[in-house]
Chain A
C-alpha cells in the first residue's frame, strides 16, 4: 500500500520560499496510472487545493496561488515537490500531499500524507 510523507521547514519568515517534499513509498511516481497533488488546511477552515501534476509532467494550479506555485515530480527519487514563493502569515497552514485513484479522467485523491504544519512568522 502506498504511503506518502510530507517534509518541510516547519517555521519560516515572510517573503521566503516554502519548499515541501512528498516522499512516496510502496508505489512509484513513474507510473502513468496516477497523478499527484498538494493541498492545505488553514486552522479552523476547510481543505484548499493548491495544485497537482500528472505523470506526464503537466501541471494544474489554483488560480489564487498560480503566480507563486510550482509543483514538480522527481521520479528518480520517487517524490514530488511544492514550492510557494513570497510567503506571508496567510500561508500558515497544514500542508498535505496526495495521490489520485488509478486511472484516467476525473479522479479523487485516495492516498494522503498526514500533513506537515507550516508557520510563517517574523
Chain B
C-alpha cells in the first residue's frame, strides 16, 4: 500500500495567516492527489483534486501543488471557518489511502 505522510500533525495559526501543509507519498502517484477538509459531524469536503485543481465552489485562497511524491496545500489567508482537519488522499493506485490528517487550530 502507498503510505501518505502529512506534516505537521498539528498547526497553530491566526486568522489572516498563510499556512502550508505537506503530504508525501511512499511512491509516485503522478498527480492523483486530493485534499479534503474534515469537521466533526459534517460531510468531508473536497478542496483540491489532481494535485492542483480547485474544486467548484471552494474559495480561491486554497491552492495545491506538487506531483510524484511531494504535495502541498496552501491557504493564503486563514478565515475563521478554515480551522479544521485537512487530509490528503491518493487515488492513483489501489488501495486508495489517506494521510493521517493535519489539525489546524487557532493560535
Contacts and interface: CB of A to CB of B under 8 A. Distances in A.
A107 B89 contact: no
Given A45-B100, A46-B100, A49-B96, A114 B41 contact: yes
Contact of B95 (A46, A49, A111, A112): A49
A86 to B, nearest CB: 20
A104 interface: no
B99 A46 contact: yes
Contacts of A62: 95
B107 interface: no
A74 interface: no
Interface residues on B, range: 20 to 34
A98 B89 CA distance: 14
B92 A46 contact: no
A2 B91 CA distance: 22
B11 interface: no
A115 B38 CA distance: 11
Interface residues of A, number: 23
Chain B, interface SS category: loop
Contacts of B91: 106-108
Most buried by B among A45, A47, A62, A98: A47
Most buried by A among B43, B45, B91: B43
Given A46-B98, A47-B98, A106 B44 contact: no
A20 B28 CA distance: 34
Nearest to A117: B41
B49 interface: yes
Interface in B23-58: 32, 34, 36, 38, 41-46, 49-50, 55
Contacts of A46: 87, 98-101
B104 to A, nearest CB: 15
A95 interface: no
13 contacts: A45-B100, A46-B87, A47-B38, A48-B98, A49-B96, A60-B94, A101-B49, A106-B92, A108-B34, A108-B49, A108-B89, A109-B34, A115-B43
